[in-house]
A and B are shown apart, each in its own frame.
Chain A
Amino acid sequence: MRTIFFILQKEFLQIFRNRGMMAIIFLIPIVQLLVLSNAANYEVRNLAIDVVDQDHSAWSQRLVNKLTASGYFKLHRQTFNEKAAFEDLQLDKADIVLMIPRHFERDLVREDKASLQLLVNAINGSKAGLANGYTNNIIRSFNQNIRTEWLALDGRNGPAVIEVTYSNWFNTRLDYKVFMVPGIIVVLVTMIGAFLSGMNIVKEKEIGTIEQLNVTPIRKHHFILGKLIPFWIVALFELALGLLVGKLVFHLPMAGSLWLVFLFAAVYLWVMLGMGLLISTFTETQQQAMFIAWFFVIIFILMSGLFTPVENMPHWAQVLTWFNPIAYFVKVIRMVLLKGSGWANIQIYLLIMLAYAVVMNGIAIWNYRKIT
């Protein structure tokens, strides 16, 4: 045990002495959390709309007003000229073009029907879908209004309706940051805790100090523990720091128990530390270790459900996420913080992580030979 203590002491001295490393560990993550959380926003508001109003009637004007009053749209250009509107669409200046044909109002009254045309820039499919949804809702309600007014109907005489009400649970204001901050914290903790540790072992290999350690009576597991524990501690500290910033700056709700988050993180980190260790066992240079760590970390992050929901992925990709530790942590931290999920809800994930940690470290230690 005393040996581990000496190794820990040495590791911490080395970490704290390296200024660049200190910045990477403590400064950059916080800055990133502060800045990037603001960037991660899917909210579709202020869509730029071009209106080609060739009717210029009272009703067409009213429709345009209703659209812009909704808060979803910002009128970019009102014009007669279709070409100008198309150009805007092409140059990404407009997201959506509404074409109101001539005699819109007259047709509506005389023929009982009229048509509108909507052009949506659909390169961003989900945004287009939402924009389309909003526009259609507004047009439908506009339709309902003028119909009731014109025919002087009251609700009873009209056709039957299903009234849909909805509410947003756990995040009533639809604040996207509340969703992203826990995820970004996970990424930061992962990068610091997991991949630096593996790199650190390879570094001793590369500069040759590992040779010296190998002739000392240090035991395998002492050495490994001594190498991993500092990053485990730093990462947990990082988590606390991230949560604090989240609470103070982004008013991150903490519906569930923080202990549960830390417990899960503690186990989760052993998976990532084990992975770092494993990578270090079959690489000779830091460069190789970095590339491999990179490869996995990017895949893990982008397929973790952090940015795009796991549920949207094709089935085979969802199966792959069963092996993605980051996906579990992202899911659990959101469940606990946002919804207040408790022990009963997350214990299965904790068990999976535990098994993962045991397997990962088992393979890593088995692969790690003191005698080469």
Chain B
Amino acid sequence: MQPIVTKELTKKFGTFIATNAITFEVKEGEIFGFLGANGAGKTTAMRMLCGLLRPSSGEAKVAGFDVYKQADRIKQNIGYMSQRFSLYEDLKVKENIRFYGGIYGLSNNTIKEKTKQLLQKLQMEAEADQLVSALPLGWKQKLAFSVAILHDPSIVFLDEPTGGVDPVTRRQFWDLIYEAAGRGVTVFVTTHYMDEAEYCDRISIMVDGRIQALDTPRQLKAQFQAESMDDVFLKLARGK
């Protein structure tokens, strides 16, 4: 069974069609890049898949659960991280981990154990008792990602996770993503950075609410006779 399956998924706001009958599948353990210009409908699609927004029509299953009827079960099985949200700035690193572990129903022992592992992996043991507001942005983002997959979800949604971060930290961030994918976590990521798109197993490009292209980066470059993903993107965005 595929972790994410959609069929003709549509969302209308009044007469405006934000996502127009999109159909795609994401495979298990895959890093799936979700690209598109601002306002192309990426966020709307993502919100529907996370159970935050009710679709107008079409079908979608996430982790095997129906987005209409089983939104609660979906939430139990996904992780989510967006650029806008980091963590609670007025809570300490440890307290944030504990809070999110708690609301996903992890036991106290598990939380303790995971906190230790996580801090070790990020080499942030020394900062465990610092307020999140005192951390540099890159650290916050790495921490946020680790917290988002704390409860071992089968799918993680990342909404422009690396906005505003320097290239080195971005590289480190992607290492974390690869590692998670290596453990079988399916990663669904939206991004503006075309070099990041190259890191994805497969990418889809949305234009005006529709998916205009969906394939591996290599195939897409071949298909559009482009040198880089940048060119692919520009050709698609302008080519209407």
| Given A10-B95, A14-B90, A371-B52, also A215-B80 (CB < 8 A) | yes
A211, CB-defined interface residue at 8 Å = yes
A215 contacts across to B, CB distance below 8 A: 50-52, 75, 78, 80, 157
Q: Determine the chain B residues whose CB is within 8 A of the CB of A6 once the complex forms.
A: 98-99, 102-103
Among the 9-residue stretches B27-35, B81-89, B179-187, B212-220, the one with 4 or more Cβ atoms under 8 Å from chain A is: B81-89
Q: Is B25 part of the binding interface, using a Cβ–Cβ cutoff of 8 Å? A: no
Q: Indicate if B93 sits at the interface (CB-CB under 8 A).
A: no
Q: Which residue of A lies closest to B54 (CB)?
A: A371
- Assess whether B82 is in contact with A372, with CB atoms less than 8 Å apart: no
Interface membership of B176, Cβ < 8 A: no
0/1 string, B70-113, CB within 8 A of A gives 1: 01100110101110110010110001001110111100000000
Q: Which chain A residue has the least Cβ–Cβ distance from B84?
A: A208
Give the one of A6, A17, A213 with max B CB within 10 A: A6
The answer to whether A13 and B95 touch across the interface, beta carbons within 8 angstroms, is yes
CB <8 Å contact, A218 and B85: no
* Complex Cα gap A218–B100 (Å): 10
CB distance from A77 to the nearest CB of B (A): 62
* Chain B residues whose C-beta falls within 8 Å of the C-beta of A10 in the assembled complex: 88, 91, 95, 99
A126 CB–B CB distance under 8 Å: no
| Cβ A212 vs Cβ B102 within 8 A | no
Asked if A212 and B99 sit within 8 Å, CB to CB, the answer is no
Contact flags (1/0) for B178-204 with A, using CB distance below 8 Å? Answer: 000000000000000000000000000
Residue of B nearest to A216 (CB): B103
Determine if A214 is an interface residue (Cβ-Cβ < 8 Å): yes
Interface of B is mostly: mixed
Report Cα–Cα, A216/B157, bound state, in Å.
Answer: 12
**In the assembled complex, which residues on chain B have CB atoms less than 8 Å from the CB atom of A212?**
80-82, 85
Alpha-carbon distance between A7 and B98 when the two chains are bound, in angstroms: 10
Residues in A whose Cβ lies below 8 Å from that of B236: none
Q: For B88, give its contact among A3, A5, A209 (CB under 8 Å).
A: A209
Question: Complex Cα distance A219/B84, Å?
Answer: 22
- On whether the beta carbons of A3 and B80 are closer than 8 Å, the reply is no
Q: Is the CB of A217 within 8 A of B103?
A: yes
A219: which B residues are within 8 A, CB to CB?
72
A219 to B73, CA, bound (A): 11
Q: Is B53 an interface residue (CB 8 A)?
A: yes
Given contacts A6-B99, A217-B72, A217-B75, contact A211 B90 (CB under 8 A): no
Binding site for A on B (CB under 8 A): 50-54, 71-72, 75-76, 78, 80-82, 84-85, 88, 90-91, 95, 98-100, 102-105, 131, 157
**Cβ contacts A to B, 25 pairs, < 8 Å:** A2-B102, A6-B98, A6-B102, A9-B99, A10-B91, A10-B95, A13-B91, A14-B88, A14-B90, A14-B91, A17-B91, A18-B90, A208-B84, A211-B85, A212-B81, A215-B80, A215-B157, A216-B75, A216-B100, A217-B72, A217-B103, A218-B103, A371-B53, A371-B54, A371-B71
- Chain A interface residues (CB < 8 Å from chain B): 2-3, 5-7, 9-10, 13-14, 17-18, 208-209, 211-219, 371-372
Besides the known contacts A215-B75, A216-B80, A371-B71, 11 further A-B residue pairs in the complex with CB atoms under 8 A apart = A3-B102, A6-B103, A7-B99, A9-B98, A9-B102, A10-B91, A13-B95, A215-B78, A216-B103, A216-B104, A372-B52
Closest 5 CB pairs of A and B: A6-B102, A215-B80, A208-B84, A217-B75, A212-B85
